[in-house]
């Protein structure tokens, strides 16, 4: 296969802009409202809980981005798969993180926290229409997407979040309480589990299409420079997202005096900003949530357009329009219905995406072995389905006890990990012992 001789590097300015865009793409409403809930419940165990959370909520997505940069193109992540598995994975992923779940959720959360506190009556439908139209306008020009999110929307969100973080340090509204629930027993483990459940590693695979395309749009096309640029972007993203999580976790831990009756992290954050900033605090929070959700829907629309237009030769604008229209329709069914019907698929796709990232990482550093993507995906699909059924709560009690006793990591919903890693190792060793890897390389 021919490689580009262009060795142009990404400039510092472009690296910063794309890094800010990457941070904004990941910073959805869930990422803003989850850490306060963790901080409140972890209390005095905030640091160990947050360390575990950062490993899976920031470390895994960053690792996925780095691996995508190594392979050069997002679709190379699945190129060793059988065609049916390849197409099935990408279609399932983009439908799930696009119009079926993540995008409608972003629209409804933006409405619930960005507009509903200020109006009387139900305005979800008109809000969804306006929100969708803005998403379309920002999506139709990919360069404007990079510039707008990287230069305008992200700095605005960072300033807003920084204001909340500084206020939390200067004006804490209470002292951290004793940890509750599983945080009292194993705060690091619980933090790891909660971070894994953010599913940002899945989003990283989808956003890879947008990020690599943004790098290419700056004239950077060589494999080495794409890998280097992606590593720098992943590092900046990790620092920004990690700082955001730590700050918001601290807000939750030190807001004990005003959190009575709070049902979730969103309400904790809402109570806090109102207490500190008054009515202007409500507007501040609304601005953060709407910008976060908008950056997510724009990025996911762009990712869907990149995949379906390049794979099936569809018109990019037509794909974007279809994705946004379907999102607008599904959003009006309400957040609970969206989660109920879409969550199982998301819970299965997330470990499958991680398995493919690990298999690609191994293939990159050990090109002499036959890629183990097929076995990794099949094993992860099987055991990941078991984990998803466990999380959803549909496994019978008798089977649940058997799995808990005999299936490693089942109790932390990662029983797929050991079979996946074992499958990759065994496949790699067999390819070396049988010589199939050498033959494959020679054939290429």
Q: Is the Cβ–Cβ distance between 154 and 24 less than 8 Å?
A: yes
Banded model confidence at residue 261, pLDDT cuts 50, 70, 90: confident
Output the average pLDDT for the chain: 86
Q: If DSSP states are collapsed to H, E and C, what string results for the chain?
A: CCCCCCCCCCCHHHHHHHHHHHHHHHCCHHHHHHHHHHHHHHHHHHHHHHHHHHHHHHHHHHHHHHHHHHHCCHHHHCCCCCHHHHHHHHHHHHHHHHHHCHHHHHHHHHHHHHCHHHCCCCCHHHHHHHHHHHHHHHHCCHHHHHHHHHHHHHHHHHHHHHHHHHHHHHCCCCCCCCCCHHHHCCHHHHHHHHHHCCCHHHHHHHHHHHHHHHHHHCCCCCHHHHHHHHHHHHHHHHHHHHHHHHHHHHHHHCCHHHCCCCCCHHHHHHHHHHHHHCHHHHHHHHHHHHHHHHHHHHHHHHHHHHHHHHHHCCCHHHHHHHHHHHHHHHHCCCHHHHHHHHHHHHHHHHHHHHHHHHHHHHHHHCCCCCCCHHHHHHHHHHHHHHHHHHHHCCCCHHHHHHHHHHCCCHHHCCCCHHHHHHHHHHHHHHHHHHCHHHHHHHHC
Banded model confidence at residue 14, pLDDT cuts 50, 70, 90: very high
User: What is the per-residue pLDDT for 126?
Assistant: 96
Share of the chain above pLDDT 90, in %: 43
Judged against a pLDDT cut of 50, whether residue 1 lies above it is answered with: no
CATH class of 12-332: mainly alpha
Pick 9 or 238 by higher pLDDT.
238
For residues 57-68, give the mean pLDDT.
94
User: What is the per-residue pLDDT for 5?
Assistant: 54
Banded model confidence at residue 99, pLDDT cuts 50, 70, 90: very high
Judged against a pLDDT cut of 50, whether residue 284 lies above it is answered with: yes
For residues 180-207, give the mean pLDDT.
86
Residues written for the chain: 444
Banded model confidence at residue 2, pLDDT cuts 50, 70, 90: very low
For residues 357-382, give the mean pLDDT.
92
Q: Taking the domains of the chain in order of start, what are their residue ranges?
A: 12-332, 344-444
Judged against a pLDDT cut of 60, whether residue 439 lies above it is answered with: no
């Amino acid at each position: 296969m021919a490689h580009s001789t262009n060795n142009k590097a990404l400039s510092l300015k472009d690296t910063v802009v794309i890094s800010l865009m990457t941070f904004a793409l990941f910073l959805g409403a869930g990422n803003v409202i989850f850490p306060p809930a963790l901080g409140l419940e972890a209390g005095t165990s905030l640091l160990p809980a947050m360390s575990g959370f950062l490993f899976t909520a920031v470390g895994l997505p960053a690792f996925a981005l780095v691996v995508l940069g190594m392979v050069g193109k997002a679709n190379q992540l699945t190129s060793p798969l059988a065609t049916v598995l390849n197409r099935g994975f990408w279609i399932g992923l983009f439908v799930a993180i696009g119009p079926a779940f993540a995008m409608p959720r972003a629209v409804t959360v933006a409405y619930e926290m960005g507009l509903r506190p200020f109006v009387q009556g139900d305005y979800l439908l008109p809000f969804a229409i306006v929100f969708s139209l803005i998403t379309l306008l920002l999506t139709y020009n990919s360069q404007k997407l990079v510039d707008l999110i990287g230069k305008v929307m992200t700095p605005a969100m960072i300033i807003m979040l920084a204001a909340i973080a500084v206020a939390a340090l200067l004006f804490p509204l209470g002292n951290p309480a004793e940890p509750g629930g599983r945080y009292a027993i194993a705060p690091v483990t619980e933090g790891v589990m909660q971070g894994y459940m953010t599913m940002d590693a899945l989003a990283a695979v989808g956003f890879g299409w947008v990020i690599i395309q943004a790098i290419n749009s700056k004239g950077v096309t060589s494999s080495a420079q794409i890998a280097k640029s992606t590593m720098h972007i992943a590092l900046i993203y990790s620092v920004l997202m990690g700082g955001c999580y730590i700050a918001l976790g601290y807000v939750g831990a030190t807001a004990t005096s005003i959190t009575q009756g709070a049902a979730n992290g969103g309400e904790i954050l809402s109570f806090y900003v109102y207490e500190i900033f008054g009515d202007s605090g409500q507007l501040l929070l609304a601005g953060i949530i709407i910008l976060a959700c908008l950056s997510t829907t724009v990025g996911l629309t762009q990712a869907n357009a990149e995949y379906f237009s390049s794979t099936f030769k569809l018109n990019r604008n037509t794909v974007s329009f279809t994705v946004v229209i379907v999102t607008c329709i599904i959003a009006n069914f309400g957040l609970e219905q969206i989660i109920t019907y879409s969550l199982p698929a998301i819970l299965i796709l997330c470990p499958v995406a991680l398995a493919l990232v690990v298999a690609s990482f191994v293939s990159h550093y050990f090109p002499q072995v036959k890629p183990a993507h097929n076995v990794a995906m099949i094993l992860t699909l099987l055991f990941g389905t078991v984990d998803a059924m466990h999380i959803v709560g549909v496994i019978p009690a008798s089977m649940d006890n058997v799995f808990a006793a005999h299936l490693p990591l089942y109790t932390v919903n990662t029983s797929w990990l050991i079979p996946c890693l074992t499958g990759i190792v065994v496949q790699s060793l067999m390819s070396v012992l049988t010589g199939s890897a050498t033959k494959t390389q020679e054939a290429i």
